[in-house]
């Protein structure tokens, strides 16, 4: 249940802070873009849960999440039907997010730069606790924020199109890793619940 809180709230948070729509940001299996994704997609997924120190009787959880940031290669040169290079003339590409832009928006937290990323973002953690009334019947509150833990190498993928007969949509990007949101509950010797 704890992971569901984090994934659901991260999706709401990014959509609210950056005005991203459902085809631009969402919870997605394996942090991959869905078939209906737009020119970019920020995919949020479960990265696993770690337990705390075994030397204490309290129950601890440490959350790991993975965030995939993906772009369609629309800005790259394409070949026309005759095989000649055809550069895209889309005037909207000039203002499009680059992978670097998306990476900074997801990682860095700096309200002066209008960047509301997750690294060491105590506001995100406090809002998450408030959103789910933690601590409470659903368990202890989150006591530490998420911290950026690195990323994998650049990946190139094809996502099956939602339109029948259309080719797979190409994307390139990488997956960012975050760890934190420690929760601890003091337990008695007989029973406990994380909710």
Q: Which of 69-78, 91-100, 175-184 is the most confident on average?
A: 175-184
Q: What pLDDT does residue 87 have?
A: 47
On the question of pLDDT at 93 being above 80, the answer is: no
Strand (E) or helix (H) holding 7: helix 2-18
Helix (H, G, I), strand (E, B) or coil at 126: helix
Identify the residue with better confidence: 98 or 75: 98
What phi, psi does 130 have (nearest 5°)? -65, -45
On the question of pLDDT at 54 being above 80, the answer is: no
pLDDT band at 73 (very low <50, low <70, confident <90, very high): confident
Q: What pLDDT does residue 192 have?
A: 45
Percent of the chain with pLDDT over 90: 62
Averaged confidence pLDDT in the chain: 85
Q: What pLDDT does residue 95 have?
A: 53
Q: What pLDDT does residue 81 have?
A: 58
Strand runs labelled E in the chain:
25-27, 40-51, 59-71, 78-79, 85-86, 109-110, 115-116, 147-151, 155-159, 169-185
Q: What pLDDT does residue 2 have?
A: 87
């Amino acid at each position: 249940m704890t992971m569901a809180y984090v994934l659901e709230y991260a999706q709401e948070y990014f959509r609210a802070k950056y005005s991203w729509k459902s085809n631009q940001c969402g919870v997605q299996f394996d942090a991959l873009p869905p078939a209906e994704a737009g020119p970019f997609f920020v995919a949020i997924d479960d990265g696993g849960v770690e337990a705390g120190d075994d030397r204490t009787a309290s129950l601890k959880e440490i959350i790991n999440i993975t965030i995939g940031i993906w772009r369609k290669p629309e800005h790259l040169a394409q070949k026309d039907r005759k095989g000649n290079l055809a550069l895209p003339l889309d005037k909207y590409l000039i203002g499009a997010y680059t992978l670097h832009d998306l990476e900074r928006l997801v990682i860095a937290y700096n309200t002066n730069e209008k960047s509301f990323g997750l690294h060491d973002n105590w506001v995100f953690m406090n809002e998450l606790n408030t959103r789910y009334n933690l601590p409470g019947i659903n368990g202890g509150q989150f006591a530490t924020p998420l911290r950026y833990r690195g990323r994998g190498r650049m990946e190139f993928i094809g996502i099956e199109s939602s339109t029948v007969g259309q080719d797979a949509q190409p994307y390139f990007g990488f997956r960012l890793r975050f760890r934190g949101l420690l929760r601890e509950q003091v337990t008695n010797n007989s029973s406990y619940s994380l909710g």
